[in-house]
């Protein structure tokens, strides 16, 4: 009878034990889930824009720490100033909202949010505007502009206009565009040099042919070549080092006789700056021939000379690096290639 009286108590203890086991299991599950949540989730901030067309929020990103757009602006403007920009103003052209929430840790993208903030900045700057033909380029400062112009001029002499303007930072010309301009100018110069070499080769062949005729005819002056026994051309008519070379240079020893191209009247036989000792003859048909860097004269101003008459001697006076005759021909006031008329 005593045993039967204790059974209800014993059964109650057994039920209580099962209850505690269940409670412990539940607590362990909760702790485990809590650890799981703390491992993969975090308290943080959600940033979003409001799309009026969709009438909905568009998430920009998630951040563990609160992000201050004004601090980001100050930091970014300081970076731009260090890079050489001259800031005029900065405005924020879009609204980004903030909301506290529990966020998945794998979705935290603070760098991306920072980029979104920066893209919302409307920045105006002082800049250098350069116009080359119809192409317009913008540079953040004078240093960048000068570096670009110097690079172009090292390839080929260019003309440009420059002015200081206030523009949105976005107009600053990208480096890829500048590189394309440099490459384009290089190709243009290579094409010009190729054409010039082809032209010089044809002219050299032409002069060689004429020189051969001169020797066969055994004449002291043939085909209009102003030097009897020397027809080697050291520099041709045309572009040279980015500048126009307006005549043809015949290399010859100092003192070699120079002959008149055609009959005419000497209108100058005197010193002329970079031309040195300089002879100019006006011919009966109105054309003009000019002979530079002479060592001396065999004519005077006012003399009437005939074709092939000795008028001077080869030298290296004026702006010259060696003994040669620089011959120029002008027709109707314009320089022409002498080799087409000799």
Lowest model confidence (mean pLDDT) among 26-30, 46-50, 129-133, 185-189: 26-30
pLDDT at res. 10: 60
pLDDT bucket at 33, cuts 50 / 70 / 90: low
Over residues 150-176, the pLDDT tens digits come to 999 998 888 899 999 999 999 999 999
State yes or no: pLDDT of 222 exceeds 90: no
For the domain made up of 202-340, give the CATH fold.
Glucose Permease (Domain IIA) (2.70.70)
pLDDT band at 207; cut points 50, 70, 90:
low
- The answer, yes or no, to whether residue 318 has pLDDT greater than 60, is yes
pLDDT at 1 over 60: no
Specify whether the backbone of 255 is left (phi greater than 0), alpha (psi in -120 to 50) or beta: left
For residue 98, pLDDT over 50 is answered with: yes
Q: How far apart are CA 233 and CA 230, in angstroms?
A: 9
pLDDT of residue 297: 95
pLDDT over threshold 60, residue 19: yes
Q: How far apart are the C-alpha atoms of 312 and 48, rounded to whole Å?
A: 89
Q: Which residue has the higher pLDDT, 154 or 241?
A: 154
Q: How far apart are CA 288 and CA 305, in angstroms?
A: 13
Q: State residue 228's pLDDT score.
A: 66
Residue range 56-61: mean pLDDT, rounded? 84
**Beta-strand pair 97-104/86-92:** unpaired
Is the confidence at residue 201, as pLDDT, over 70? yes
Three-state SS for the chain is CHHHHHHHHHHHHHHHHHHHHHHHHHHHHHHHHHHHHHHHEEEEEEEEEEECCCCEEEEEEEECCCCCHHHHHHHHHHHHHHCCCEEEEEEECCCCEEEEEEEEHHHECHHHHHHHHHHCEEEEEEEEEEEECCEEEEECCHHHHHHHHHHHHHHCCCCCEEEEEEEEHHHCCCHHHHHHHHHHHHHHHHHHHHHHHHHHHHHHHHHHHHHHHHHHHCCCCCCCCCCCCCCCEEECCEEECCEEECCEEEECCCCCEEECCCCEEEEEEEECHHHCEEEEEEECCCCEEEEEEECEECCCCCCEECCCCEEEECECCCCCCCCEEEEEEEECCEEECHHHCC
pLDDT at 221: 36
pLDDT tens string 264-307: 999 999 999 999 999 999 999 999 999 999 999 999 999 999 99
From 39-53, 97-111, 174-188, 223-237, the region with the lowest mean pLDDT: 223-237
Express as a percent the part of the chain with pLDDT over 70.
83
**What pLDDT is recorded for position 106?**
77
- Counted residue by residue, the chain has a size of 342
At residue 220, the pLDDT reads 37
pLDDT in tens, 103-127: 877 787 888 889 888 888 999 999 9
Q: Look at residue 7 and tell me whether its pLDDT is greater than 70.
A: no
8 A C-beta contact, residue 208 and residue 231 = yes
Structure tokens, 67: 């992000």
Mean of per-residue pLDDT scores for the chain: 84
Paired tokens of 323: 């003994």
Inform me whether the pLDDT recorded for 330 exceeds 90: yes
Helices 69-82 + 110-119 axis angle, to 10: 70
pLDDT bracket for residue 218 (50, 70, 90):
very low
**How many whole angstroms separate alpha carbon 128 and alpha carbon 138?**
6
Q: What confidence score (pLDDT) does residue 208 get?
A: 52
pLDDT of residue 165: 93
Smallest Cα–Cα separation from 249: which of 265, 227, 264, 271? 227
- Domain boundary assignment for the chain: 43-119, 126-188, 202-340
Where is pLDDT greater, at 22 or 289? 289
Q: Which of 228, 318, 206, 224 is nearest to 264 (CA)?
A: 224
Mean pLDDT across the stretch 226-247? 82
Residue 22 has pLDDT above 80, yes or no: no
Q: Span 222-232, mean pLDDT? A: 65
Decide if pLDDT at 203 tops 60. yes
């Amino acid at each position: 009878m005593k045993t039967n009286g204790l059974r209800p108590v014993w059964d109650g203890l057994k039920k209580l034990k099962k209850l505690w086991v269940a409670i412990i299991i539940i607590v362990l599950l909760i702790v485990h889930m809590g650890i799981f949540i703390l491992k993969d989730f975090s308290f943080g901030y959600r940033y979003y824009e409001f799309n009026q067309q969709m009438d909905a929020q568009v998430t920009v990103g998630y951040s563990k720490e609160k992000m201050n757009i004004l601090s980001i602006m100050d930091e970014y403007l300081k970076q731009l100033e260090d890079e050489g920009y001259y800031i005029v103003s900065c405005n924020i052209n879009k609204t980004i909202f903030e909301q506290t929430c529990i966020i998945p840790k794998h979705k935290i993208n603070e760098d991306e949010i920072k980029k979104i903030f920066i893209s919302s900045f409307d920045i105006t700057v002082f800049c250098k505007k350069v116009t080359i033909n119809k192409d317009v380029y913008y540079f953040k400062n004078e240093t960048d502009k000068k570096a670009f112009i110097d690079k172009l001029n090292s390839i080929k002499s260019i003309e440009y206009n420059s002015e200081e303007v206030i523009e949105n930072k976005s107009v600053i010309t990208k480096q890829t565009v500048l590189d394309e301009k440099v490459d384009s100018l290089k190709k243009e110069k290579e094409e010009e040099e190729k054409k010039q070499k082809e032209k010089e080769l044809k002219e050299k062949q032409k002069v060689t042919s004429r020189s051969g005729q001169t020797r066969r005819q055994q004449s002291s002056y043939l085909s209009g070549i102003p030097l009897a026994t020397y027809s080697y051309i050291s520099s041709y008519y045309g572009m040279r080092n980015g500048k126009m070379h307006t005549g043809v240079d015949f290399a010859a020893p100092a003192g070699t006789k120079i002959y008149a191209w055609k009959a005419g009247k000497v209108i100058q036989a005197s010193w002329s700056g970079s031309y040195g000792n300089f002879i100019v003859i006006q011919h009966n048909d109105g054309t003009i021939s000019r002979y530079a860097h002479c060592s001396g004269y065999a004519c005077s101003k006012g003399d009437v000379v005939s074709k092939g008459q000795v008028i001077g001697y080869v030298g290296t006076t004026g702006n010259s690096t060696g003994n040669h005759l620089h011959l120029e021909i002008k027709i109707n006031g314009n320089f022409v290639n002498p080799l087409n008329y000799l």
